[in-house]
Amino acid sequence: MIAAMELALYQMSADTDPRSRPQRIIDAMARARSVGADLMIAPELALSGYGMGDALRSMAQSANGPWVQELQEAAEGIGISLVAGFPERTREAYHISAIAIFADGRDPVVYRKGFLYETYEKDIFTAVGPNTVTFDFEGVRIGMLICFDVEFPECVRALALEGADLVVAPTALPAQPGSPFVAQNVIPVRAYENQIFVAYCDHADFDDRFTYQGLSSIVAPDGAVLASAPETGEALITATIEPSAYAASRRLNPYLQEWRDAQPG
């Protein structure tokens, strides 16, 4: 049986009432399922909004809080799984986290951001450093990163070496010098140098603090952009994730195998 899945990315407009965000994600899940998607990705801090500042602490929830319970019910009812960013409160700290919620009702999987970006994030949240989180879905192994994490080649390589076929990266990339290069050049390179799929899902437009770059994309192991969103406005983009379709690219660019073969023991 060939492992394949339909992936959707929901680029959210930041210029809306934060209280509406969970329902907007649920509505997008329904639209994604209607076009055949099995899994949808939403941006970094999608459930709260990224630019809420210190209020993110009071908005933060646990990984089994009301947001997750509502989305779990939606996932099972609609028949689509979800990865979405949220501010997570644990007993020890606040984290920028992403949670995978499954339509089949299995336990959610949480990833906590390894590398925080600048003082805005560092003043509110705690970084956990490099860490790898993967899960299997429709025969595809998926690794999770968040925003700045994916700009470290070591983070993506670590997931690839653990067997990830696809890395999903909810992000809140701001519109600033260098950001178009990250979205349009760094992301395809991460896919190519690891011969895996990379899905990069940003906000668009602006909130009270930031303007966002948009340019969400799904990139194949050979560096081809399978689907992309514009710089502004909401967008729902989809692509087929079929790792076996890129076997020839992996033969031509055997980076992972050469690395494994060179390791002692």
Residues tagged active-site: 44, 113, 147
Distance separating the N- and C-terminal Cα atoms of the chain: 33
As beta bridge partners, residue 180 has: none
Query: Are the C-beta atoms of 229 and 216 separated by less than 8 Å?
Result: yes
Query: Rounded CA gap, 102 and 78, in Å?
Result: 11
DSSP state of 61: B
Query: Rounded CA gap, 184 and 176, in Å?
Result: 14
Query: Rounded CA gap, 87 and 95, in Å?
Result: 6
Query: Are the C-beta atoms of 212 and 14 separated by less than 8 Å?
Result: yes
What backbone torsions phi and psi does residue 19 show, to the nearest 5 degrees?
-65, -20
What tokens appear for 178 in the block? 């260098």
Query: DSSP strand E in 27-80: where?
Result: 39-41
What tokens appear for 36 in the block? 């055949």
- Residues 6 or more apart whose Cβ sits within 8 Å of residue 259: 161
What backbone torsions phi and psi does residue 10 show, to the nearest 5 degrees?
-110, 100
